[in-house]
Structure 1
Amino acid sequence: MSAASARRRYALVQFLMWLPPGLMMAPMVLLMSARGLDLGEIGLVGAAYSVTIVVLELPTGGLADVVGRRTVLAVGTGFSAVGLVVMALADSVWLFFVASLFKGVARALSSGPAQAWYVDALHAAEGPDADLKPGLAVGSAASSTALLGGVLAGGLVPLVLPGDEVLRLSVPVWCGAVAAAAALVAVVVAMPEPRRSTSRGGPARSRAAARLGEILTDVPLTIRDGFHMAVRDRGLARLLLVSAAGGMMLAAIETLTPVRLAELTGRLESGSTVYAFVAAVGFAANAVGSSVAPLVARLLRTSTRAAVAAIAVAAASLGGLAASVALSGTAGIVAAGVAYFLVFAALSVEELVRGELIHLRVESARRATVMSVDSLQLQFGGLLITLGLGPLTTGLGIGGTWAAVAVLILVSSLLFVRLPARRVVPVPAPTRT
Structure 2
Amino acid sequence: MNAHRRFLVLLALRWFPVGLCIPIGVLLALSRGLTLAEFGLAVSLQGFVVLALELPTGGLSDSWGRRPVLALAAVVSLGSMSLLLVADSFAEFAVFAMLQGVYRALDSGPLESWYVDATLAADPSAKLERGLSAGGTVIGLAIGAGALATGGIVAWVEVPGVQTLALPVVLALGVELAGLASIVLLVREPPHPDGRRTLLASLRDVPTVIVDGVRVVRRSRILLGLVAVELLWGFGMVTFETLMPVRLSEVVGGPEAAVAIIGPTTSVAWLASAAGAALIPLVSARLGVAMTAGALRIAQGVAVLGMGLFAGPVGVLIGYLAAYTVHGAANPVHMTLLHREIDGPNRSTVMSVNSMVGQPGGSLGLIVLSAIASGTSVSTAMVIGAVVLAAAAPLYLPAMRAERRRLVSV
Structure 2 length-normalised TM: 0.92
Counterparts of 2:67 and 2:32, CA distance in 1: 36
Is 2:379 aligned against 1:392? no
**One of 119, 143, 149 as aligned partner of 1:153:** 149
Return the letter of the residue paired with 2:166: S
Residues 230 and 87 (structure 1), Cα distance of their counterparts in 2 relative to 1, 3 Å cut: same
Counterparts of 2:159 and 2:200, CA distance in 1: 53
Aligned match of 2:276:
289
Deviation at 1:338? 1.9
Is 2:84 aligned against 1:76? no
Residues 13 and 112 (structure 1), Cα distance of their counterparts in 2 relative to 1, 3 Å cut: same
Deviation at 1:267? 5.0
Return the letter of the residue paired with 1:295: L
Aligned match of 1:428:
none
The 5-angstrom pairing of residues 21-420 of structure 1 reads: 21-127=18-124, 129-162=125-158, 167-196=163-192, 211-261=198-248, 264=252, 266=254, 268=256, 271-300=258-287, 302-324=288-310, 326-327=311-312, 332=313, 334-419=314-399
Counterparts of 2:109 and 2:88, CA distance in 1: 33
Deviation at 1:147? 0.6
Q: Secondary structure at the match of 2:349?
A: helix
Deviation at 1:78? 1.6
Number of residues of Structure 1 aligned to a counterpart in Structure 2 = 403
Return the letter of the residue paired with 2:139: S
Deviation at 1:341? 2.1
Deviation at 1:145? 0.8
Counterparts of 1:159 and 1:397, CA distance in 2: 36
- Alpha-carbon contact 2:297-2:390 (below 8 Å) kept: yes
- Alpha-carbon contact 2:58-2:109 (below 8 Å) kept: yes
Residues 247 and 156 (structure 1), Cα distance of their counterparts in 2 relative to 1, 3 Å cut: farther
The superposition leaves residues 368-425 of structure 1 with CA deviations (integer Å, 9 ceiling, x where unpaired) of 11111111112221111122243121123222211110011111111112447569x9
Return the letter of the residue paired with 1:188: V
- Alpha-carbon contact 2:137-2:275 (below 8 Å) kept: yes
Please list every run of 5 or more consecutive structure 2 residues that lacks an aligned counterpart in the other structure: none
Q: Secondary structure at the match of 1:91?
A: coil
Deviation at 1:276? 2.5
Deviation at 1:261? 4.4
Counterparts of 2:97 and 2:153, CA distance in 1: 23
Deviation at 1:253? 1.6
- Alpha-carbon contact 2:298-2:391 (below 8 Å) kept: no
Return the letter of the residue paired with 2:300: A
- Alpha-carbon contact 1:7-1:118 (below 8 Å) kept: yes
Counterparts of 1:174 and 1:72, CA distance in 2: 24
Counterparts of 1:32 and 1:265, CA distance in 2: 27
Deviation at 1:159? 2.8
Deviation at 1:181? 1.3
Residues 256 and 159 (structure 1), Cα distance of their counterparts in 2 relative to 1, 3 Å cut: farther
RMSD: 2.3
Q: Secondary structure at the match of 2:191?
A: coil
Aligned-pair identity (%): 32
The superposition leaves residues 277-333 of structure 1 with CA deviations (integer Å, 9 ceiling, x where unpaired) of 221122112211111111111121x21211121112111111111123x32xxxx1x
Deviation at 1:154? 2.4
Residues 258 and 179 (structure 1), Cα distance of their counterparts in 2 relative to 1, 3 Å cut: farther
Deviation at 1:250? 2.0
Return the letter of the residue paired with 1:305: M
Counterparts of 2:165 and 2:248, CA distance in 1: 20
Please list every run of 5 or more consecutive structure 1 residues that lacks an aligned counterpart in the other structure: 200-206, 426-433
- Alpha-carbon contact 1:81-1:176 (below 8 Å) kept: no
- Alpha-carbon contact 1:138-1:290 (below 8 Å) kept: yes
Aligned match of 1:204:
none
Counterparts of 2:155 and 2:349, CA distance in 1: 42
Counterparts of 1:214 and 1:45, CA distance in 2: 34
Counterparts of 2:32 and 2:258, CA distance in 1: 19
- Alpha-carbon contact 2:247-2:308 (below 8 Å) kept: no
Q: Secondary structure at the match of 2:192?
A: coil
Counterparts of 2:299 and 2:110, CA distance in 1: 30
Aligned match of 1:431:
none
The superposition leaves residues 75-110 of structure 1 with CA deviations (integer Å, 9 ceiling, x where unpaired) of 112211221121121111111111111111111111
The superposition leaves residues 219-274 of structure 1 with CA deviations (integer Å, 9 ceiling, x where unpaired) of 11111111121122111010111111111222332112233445637455x64453
